[in-house]
Amino acid sequence: MNLCTLIGICLLIVQGGFQTIDEQINMANDLRHMVAKAAHIPKMADLSYDPDLERQAKSITCEHHPTVALKIDNDIED
């Protein structure tokens, strides 16, 4: 399992227990810091970039295009 996947799983598990966005952000930053420290990664930015994942994303093509336009209903009923 790659490091970014592990961080993502941890974030999904942890975010359910916090009620505010600020608490979620703080916990995400704390998790990233712990992972960086444990993996001896000097720059936090290195945790958020995965060159292999970037290459995979660039190679993905959409084979099925939408045939129906999405309708957004802005009417609000009281």
The residues spanned by each domain of the chain are 3-49
Residue listed under structure tokens 């093509």 = 61
C-alpha triplet 38, 41, 42: angle, nearest 5°:
125
pLDDT in tens, 7-19: 777 776 666 666 6
Q: Identify the pLDDT of residue 34.
A: 82
Residue listed under structure tokens 């941890």 = 10
Q: Identify the pLDDT of residue 7.
A: 73
Select the more confidently predicted residue: 30 or 63.
30
C-alpha triplet 6, 55, 43: angle, nearest 5°:
50
Give CA–CA dist 45/58, Å, rounded.
20
pTM of the predicted model over 0.75: no
